[in-house]
Chain A
Amino acid sequence: MAEEDPSLAAWMRAAQQGDGAAYARLLRAALPPLRRAARARWPGTEPALIEDVVQETLLALHGARHLYDPGRPFLPFLFGVMRFRGGDVIRRARRLSARHTAIDDLGETSAALATNSDSDQTLDAGAVRAAIARLPPGQRQALELTKLRELSLEQASAESGLSVTALKVATHRGIKTLRRLFHGSK
C-alpha cells in the first residue's frame, strides 16, 4: 500500500482535540480513497449503495474517534471501520432486496404513484443521518439499531444489552427529538 498523506493523521489528531475545521478537511480528503476502497471490497455494487456505505462509515468513524491511536496512520483505521459498518449496510440492503418483488408492468406510470419523489428522500438522507449522529447516546443507539440497521427489537436488545422496553422508550424519545430538531430548523 502506498504511504498515506501525513496530513490525514494530523487532521485526525486535531479532530480528537475538537478541531471541527480539521475534521471537515479530513473527511473530505478521505472521501475518494474511502469510495475506492468500498468499490474494491464490494465490486459490482450500485453507486447509491456504495454512497450509503461511505456515509455510514463516516458516522461510525464519528462515534469511534476515541479508538484512533494518534501514533498510527489514519486510512487503515478508516478502512477498518468501513469493513465492519459497510458489511452491515450491504447485508441489510441484500436482505431487503431479497424481500422485494419486481413489478414490471408499472412502467412510466409508477412515478405518479409516489407521494414524494425518491430524489427528495435521497437528498434528505444525509440530513437525517447527521441529525441522528447528534442525538443523545442512548437515543442515537436505539435509532441506529432499530431504524437504520432495521434490526428487530429482540435483535437490537441482544446486540445492545438494553431491554426491549428500554429500546422502545429510547426509540420513541429519539423520534421525538428528531421531530423537534427538524421542526425547529424549519
Chain B
Amino acid sequence: MARSDMTTDRLIESLAAGLTLVRPLPSPATRLGLWLAVSLPAAALVALGFGLRPDLPTLLATPSFLLELVGAALTAVAGAYAALCAVVPDQPGWKLWLPLAPLALWSGTLGQQCLAVVLRIGPAGLVVQPDVMCLPAIALGGIVPALAITVLLRRARGVRLAHACFCGALAAAALGAAALRLYHPQDAAIMVIVWQLGSVALLSLLGTLIGRATIAFGPA
C-alpha cells in the first residue's frame, strides 16, 4: 500500500470513528414550500396593512400589470429555489440561473411600457420624480422572506454561498416589490424601473453582503 493510501486510510478511520447522526436536509422543493408558507402570508399582511389599491381589480385585468406582477412573483419563487439549490453540491448548474427568466419577463415588461410612453409623449415620459417610499416599503415587505431564507440557508451551510445569498436576497426583495404593487399607486413605468427595480437591485446586493456575514459555515 502506498504511503498516501495509508494516510487517507487513517483519515477514513478517524472520520468513521467519530461519526454522529445527522438529520438529512429536506429537498430544495420542500424547503421552497416552507419558505412560501412563511413569506407569502407575511408579504400579504404588509400589503393589507397599507391597504390595497382601490383600482386593483381593474389593474389585475390589465395584461401589462398582470405580466409585471407575475414576473416579480416568479422572480421571488425562482430566486428562493435557486438559493436553496445552490448550497447543495449535486444540484445542476442550470437551476442556479432560473431567476433570470422571470427577471427578464419582469424588467422586459416594464421596459416595453417605458418605451411605449416615450414613443407616445416623448422624453417627458422619462422624467423621474422622487419616490422615497419604495425602498423602505420593499424592505419591509421583504424582511420576513429574507429572514426565512436566511434560516433555511443557515441550516444548509453548503457550497456556492455567495450565489445562494444573492438569489435569496433577490427573492425577498422581489416579493417585497410584488407586494408593493398591490398597495402603492405608482404606475409610471420609468418610476417603477428606477425606484422599484432599483430598490430590488440595491437590496439584493445589500442582502448578499449581510447574508454572507450571517450564514457562516459550520456544523449541520
Contacts and interface: CB of A to CB of B under 8 A. Distances in A.
Given A126-B7, A161-B216, A67 B158 contact: yes
Interface stretch (B65-73, B83-91, B98-106, B167-175): B83-91
Interface of A: 15-21, 23-24, 27-28, 31, 47-48, 51, 54-55, 58-59, 62-72, 76-77, 79-81, 83-84, 119, 122-123, 125-127, 129-131, 133-134, 137-138, 141, 158-162
B85 to A, nearest CB: 11
Contact of B3 (A15, A79, A122, A127): A122
The 10 A-B pairs at the shortest CB distance, nearest first, are namely A80-B89, A130-B14, A126-B7, A66-B220, A18-B21, A24-B16, A161-B213, A137-B219, A77-B90, A80-B90
Contact of B218 (A72, A123, A138): A138
From DSSP, what is the main secondary structure of chain A's interface residues? helix
B18 A133 contact: yes
B159 A84 contact: yes
A72 B220 CA distance: 19
A101 B68 CA distance: 59
Interface of B: 3-4, 6-25, 27, 87-91, 156, 158-160, 212-220
A136 to B, nearest CB: 9
A48 B7 CA distance: 11
A51 B22 contact: no
Nearest to B162: A159
Nearest to A64: B158
Given A123-B3, A137-B219, A20 B8 contact: no
Given A20-B19, A24-B16, A126-B9, 10 more contacts: A17-B21, A18-B21, A20-B16, A31-B8, A126-B14, A130-B11, A130-B13, A134-B14, A159-B217, A162-B216
